[in-house]
Chains A and B, each alone.
Chain A
Amino acid sequence: MKVKYFAWVRERVGKAEETIEPPATVRTVEELIAWLSGRSEAYAYAFEKPKVIRAAIDHAHVKPDAAIAGAREIAFFPPMTGG
């Protein structure tokens, strides 16, 4: 699946997007955050406060317990500050 990062999550991870293949045991958004956090110090820093991170699956906001099965694109970003 494709993963996208925005704002300071993008800056901390060090890339805007990538394709990942998490193991089948990673079923939800919060499990994916935990799995990503274990990849490197950069990911651990980006996701150090997982409760602050917002997520979207296929362009729609989702909660941490949302299932990631079938997702084409998952995005992680800080709370929004537009307008």
Chain B
Amino acid sequence: MTTPVTSCPVTIRIQEDDFDIAREIAVLTKSRTDIGAVVSFSGICRADDDSAKIAALTLEHYPGMAEEEIRRHADEAISRWPLNGVTVIHRVGRFMPGQNIVLVLTASQHREAAFQAAEFLMDYLKTSAPFWKKEESATGTGWVEAQARDDEAAARWTKS
């Protein structure tokens, strides 16, 4: 879903296809002269986990809720930092090591807000957006377990 061009357009997509980071940044910054910083985070399928070599990852999601949950966190990011644009693209399907899984772009006048908002969005994507990873390795296939360190990373953004 893409909202019309306002001071902070938000693009959220869940797709099987790959994304082109340069193209997404160009879309985010097109015809804008108020953006001084774009932070880009890409999550990539890696082969080396703590235990076994991963052969492939399958990403499952809850259609409808996944988009809405990401939107809620994008809206919160916009309320917390002076952002000029947010793009979140999360892929679903089966991925091999080296392939892209997720892209977060945050645009702002200055780098600090863009860095912080990108980190905030990724921390909540990991712990709150309804996506699940299944791992295939030489030792078998199994669902990835949630990591306590991801919950701790998300918890630091909770307002006290």
Which of A's residues lie within 8 Å of B, judged by CB? 4, 6-8, 56, 59-61, 75, 77-83
Contacts and interface: CB of A to CB of B under 8 A. Distances in A.
Nearest to A59: B65
Interface stretch (B3-11, B16-24, B27-35, B122-130): B122-130
Interface of B: 43, 59-62, 64-66, 68-69, 90, 101-102, 122, 125-134, 143-146, 150
Contacts of A4: 62
A42 B132 CA distance: 21
Contact of A80 (B64, B102, B122, B126): B126
Contacts of B127: 79-80
- Does more than half of chain B's interface fall in helix, strand or loop, or is it mixed? mixed
Nearest to A61: B128
Nearest to B57: A81
30 contacts: A6-B62, A7-B132, A56-B62, A59-B62, A60-B65, A60-B68, A75-B62, A75-B65, A75-B130, A77-B130, A78-B132, A80-B126, A80-B128, A80-B129, A80-B132, A81-B133, A81-B143, A81-B145, A81-B146, A82-B59, A82-B61, A82-B102, A82-B129, A82-B131, A83-B43, A83-B90, A83-B102, A83-B125, A83-B126, A83-B131
